[in-house]
Structure 1
Amino acid sequence: MRGGRRGGTVSRAWSGRARLLAGGLALAGAVAGCSGKDAGAGPATAPTGDGVAVGERDPNGDAGIPANDPAGMRRDLDLAYGTGSSARRLDLYRPASTPAGGLPLVVVIHGGAFQYGDKRDMAVHVRALVARGYAVASLNYRMAPAATFPAAVVDVKGAVRWLRANADRYGLDPDRFAALGESAGAYLATMLGVSADRSFPEDAELGNTDVPSAVRAVVHLYGPVSFLTMDDEVRANPACKPGDASHDAAGSPESLFLGRQITTAPGLVAAANPVTYLDRDRALPRFLVEHGRVDCTVPYQQSAGLADALRAAGATVSLNLLDGRGHSDTFPLAERYPGILAFLADALR
């Protein structure tokens, strides 16, 4: 096993030999019966280059992001990581060669208010990471309103178990998995990081339940965490307008994700909060948490509160709150990538 107690590592002993039991506590009550059975993925948007030669660097800064797909990149598209829903698909991208011991893997998870988006939307991450020698799995998952919590969480955990169970087939190192997500995808990446020892009612449907869903590192980019505090946090930000405080509404992304208006279901909100799963007696992955201070879609206090809770639980956390930056299109991903790459290189070494 690599690393120390807080490294969030996974033993390789199960792989092709004896298997580790994922274990954990089955969530009952609040989450029972909350999950829809099927929700298709959003429309595919294929990764595209911008006409710049392969390998030429992003003109916006020294981000280490090729403007087009890295030369020799291998693609396995629309791999089914589970049955029962057409959304349970992933694209796996790998460098041209596989080192002895296998490739470290970064699971990237798209955002979209829990309702839309597609695995092909993460092309910038795919290019940047494959160019640095990582395998990258970009996931689709069931989305609201057709599928409600914990459906998406179940799916991403099942996808990681599938990838680990098939690590030998695809040349992956099952002990060096990380997760990266934007917005709603950051929430799901964080749930991967904090709930590795928890089981959910639908886990058996995806199989590989004796394989861990743990990751060693999480990159959380401007994601929601504590749904019931979001509107108060938006109101407290002078950069935001009164109309931006809409998360408590019945039609908000968070309410649709839970299948209930969040103000009427505090127990369900707590079950969906990643902080609920933190425990000082359990190994946690390393976290890189980044958020813009003028984000009026998901308030930056969500990430600040997550970092505080993770540290209190004994996790190693790097928190970057960016002045003058907002959500998604106004978040400076190009200039953030050197730090992301340095974090992953250290966490997965």
Structure 2
Amino acid sequence: MSTRPRATGPAAEPSAAVPAPSPRDAAWLEAYAEHLTHERNRSPRTVSAYRADLRHLAAHVGPGQDVFAEVDVEDLRGWLAAMAHAGLARTTLARRVAAVRTFMAWLRREGLRHDDPALRLRSPRPDSSLPHVLQDLQTRRLLDWAEARVAEAEEGDDAVARAVALRDAAVLELLYATGARVAEVVALDRDDVDLERRVATLTGKGDRQRTVPFGGPAARAVHLWSSAGRPALLTGESGPALFLGARGGRLGVRQVRAVVDRGLEALGDTAARGPHTLRHTAATHLLDGGADLRTVQELLGHSSLRTTQVYTHVSIDRLREGYRQAHPRA
């Protein structure tokens, strides 16, 4: 067991600056990042998150010291306790536990440690709150809002404004039609979408590809954007990107989030925010409409059926609420 004094409190504050790890710890982190990238095929975003989590651990346990060779389970528990006290969400704590577990297991396999202190580390239970889901009427109103913006833009002479409105309508339709993650939609190239067959090839986590269908409204919206909107924003920097920003580059996740948030706020009767709302909504509406859980899992690109099962709880809650409102002896 380490004889180092136990660090507490300040290093776990979410807003605190994280000191650089020791040279040896930094070298181990880089080697682990290479392992995640090239052997485990993890996305750059996942690798960056794991690296940040492990740097946070090193800074909390022993700033400037060689931590990873000596850290023990009590150090790890103290780190989690300090983060919980600082108010970090359980999902964040669970991700950091996962980062430490995989890292410590890798250190042992590489012969850099003879033990694995993370084996005795318990992951916090996830929050029991269910995702925000739009009702059918709310979804139609959101998509109608996007179409109204297109109609309004068409009355003016600003070609860029019209193109942006067409793009936003197509993005909203495609997010809801496919249940895709926002990063998957903005990463689409023109050849990834087949409007005749009404299918899109999405690249998800771990660079796993899947082909998902979409309906007529989304196909029409994407066609209008491609034929009447995209040419107005096209520049030499656009490349094959399907959706473009106002300056001609590939559309970004933050831009889509801003559009979705404006639309949801315009509804006036939901606290839901963010593009993931449309993913949750699509999954729940599919299950409500009779789709089986495996089909929804494939459409969403979940590697585990357990992740998809949260939407069955959402659907049951919706069913229960409808029963309470409609049945005379509810």
Task: Report the TM-score range of the alignment, normalised by the length of the smaller protein.
Answer: under 0.3
* TM-score, normalisation: structure 2: 0.25
* TM-score, normalisation: structure 1: 0.24
Per chain length, whose mean CA-contact separation is higher, i.e. which structure has more relative contact order (CA < 8 Å, sep 6+)? 1
Larger Rg: 2
Greater helix proportion: 2
